[in-house]
Amino acid sequence: MGERMNQAAVLESGDFALFGEKGEIRRIPAEVSHFALFGLPPKLSLDERGLEARYYELSRRLHPDFFMNAPAGERIRSLEASARLNQAYHTLRSFTQRAVYLVELVSGKLAENDARPPAELLEQILEAQEAAAELRCGCGGEEAGELRGRIQAARECFEALREGQRRARQGRGAQWDRAVDEGRPVPAEALRRMRAILSQRNYLENILRSLREALEAAP
């Protein structure tokens, strides 16, 4: 489902009825979105309790006990539907994963940035990584204290940046949801900024984890 889809098709996608009129399980086409599977609008904010309740309701109806004596085709469809349902639920229940999924549906895969630091953060990241490497080498005395201070300062800087991006992501998400509610295309700037923020998330988490581990592991 990471393939790019037409924005209008995503935002106007209707609900998908998992069960037919006689209670039979319908095969789920690949193009059915996670949102359509749960009967939800393609928005970044959603009723998480409602999502959970709908998930458990559908999961109960797909339980293998109900299909022990069913034809092989029906049993296979129940397993396939359960797998799709689990994937959809675990994606949509997390705001970040939900945002990544929806942005990729509309505008294609996000850049893989684990090996490419954001250009505007490159100098800070390199300095923090250098300090962390030196501290891991076992520097002692005053030098170790200085390194710890540099690493902690960098860590606080990146944590502040992560928090700022979280707020920006929520703001762009509100723009997205208003557009969906009003039947308009998502503003191009909101989509561009959302992609940029989400593309940096892995690198920020990785550098923060690296700095934390350096502080914990150092003698």
The CATH number given to whatever domain includes residue 102 is 1.10.287.110
Does residue 118 have a pLDDT over 80? no
- Of 91, 30, 17, residue with least CA distance to 61: 17
For 184-196, how does the pLDDT look when each residue is reduced to its tens digit (9 = 90+)?
888 888 888 888 8
Residue 1 belongs to some domain of the structure: no
State yes or no: pLDDT of 83 exceeds 70. Answer: yes
Number of domains in the chain: 2
Query: What is the rounded distance in angstroms from the CA atom of residue 4 to the CA atom of residue 12?
Result: 15
In a domain, 19, yes or no: yes
133 domain residue, yes or no: yes
Pull the structure tokens for residue 82.
């359960």
99 and 145 in a single domain? The answer is no
Q: Are residues 173 and 196 in the same domain?
A: yes
CA angle 178–38–82, rounded 5-degree value: 150
Contact indicator for 26, 84 with CB cutoff of 8 Å: no
pTM: 0.76
CB–CB of 176/194 below 8 Å? yes
Q: How confident is the model at residue 80 (pLDDT cuts 50, 70, 90)?
A: very high
103 domain-assigned: yes
Per the structure block, which two tokens stand in for 64? 């293998």
Based on its alpha-carbon atoms, the radius of gyration of the chain, rounded to whole angstroms, reads 23
Q: Band the pLDDT of 216: cuts 50, 70, 90.
A: confident
- The model's confidence at residue 93, banded by pLDDT at 50, 70 and 90, is very high
Higher-pLDDT residue of 12, 125: 125
113, part of any domain: no
Query: Which amino acid, residue 119?
Result: A
Residue 59: inside a domain: yes
* Beta-carbon count within 10 A of 40 CB: 18
> Does 128 lie in the same domain as 70?
no
Residue 172 structural domain: 119-217
Tokens of 121: 């953060």
Of 73, 107, 141, the residue at which a domain comes to its end is: 107
Do residues 103 and 124 both lie within one domain? no
Question: In the listed set 107, 129, 157, which residue is the last one of a domain according to the structure?
Answer: 107
- Residues with Cβ within 8 Å of residue 54, at least 6 apart in sequence: 38, 39
Mapped onto helix, strand or coil, the DSSP state of residue 28 is coil
